[in-house]
A and B are shown apart, each in its own frame.
Chain A
Amino acid sequence: MQDLNKRFVERDRNWHPPAYAPGYKTSVPRSPQQALVSMQQPSVSELSGPDFRHLRMGPHDNDLLLNFREDPSLSGAAGLPVGERIIMFGRVVDQFGKPVPHTLVEMWQANAGGRYRHKNDRYLAPLDPGFGGVGRTLTDEQGWYRFRTIKPGPYPWPNDPNSWRPSHIHVSVMGPSISTRLITQMYFEGDPLIPLCPIVHTLKDPDAVETMIGHLDMARSKPMDCLAYRFDLVVRGELQTYFENQ
Chain B
Amino acid sequence: MLRETASQTAGPYVHIGLALASAGNPTRDEEIWNEMAKPEAEGEHIEVVGTVIDGNGDLVRDAFLEAWQADANGVYQPEFDLEKPFNSFGRTATTFDHGSEWSLKTIKPGQVTHPNGRPMAPHINLAIFARGINIQLQTRLYFEDEREANAACPVLSRIESPTRRQTLIAKREEVDGKVRYRFDIKLQGEGETVFFDF
Contact = CB atoms under 8 A, between A and B. Distances in A.
A208 to B, nearest CB: 4
Query: What is the interface of chain B mostly: helix, strand, loop, or mixed?
Result: loop
Interface in A16-40: 16-19, 21, 24-34, 36-40
Nearest to A51: B78
A119 B19 CA distance: 13
A198 B175 CA distance: 44
B16 A208 contact: no
Given A36-B195, A38-B197, A118-B13, A27 B5 contact: no
Contacts, number: 271
B198 A199 contact: no
Interface in B54-73: 54-56, 58, 60, 62, 66, 68, 70
B5 A184 contact: yes
A192 interface: no
Nearest to B139: A37
B115 A41 contact: yes
B24 A55 contact: no
A109 B176 CA distance: 41
A137 interface: no
Contact of B16 (A37, A96, A134, A207): A134
A46 B3 contact: no
B68 to A, nearest CB: 5
Contacts of A32: 137, 187-188, 192-193, 195
A72 B129 CA distance: 34
A55 B30 contact: yes
A50 B96 contact: no
Nearest to B8: A185
Contacts of B100: none
A131 to B, nearest CB: 11
Given A184-B8, A185-B11, A234-B5, 5 more contacts: A19-B134, A27-B134, A43-B113, A43-B155, A49-B78
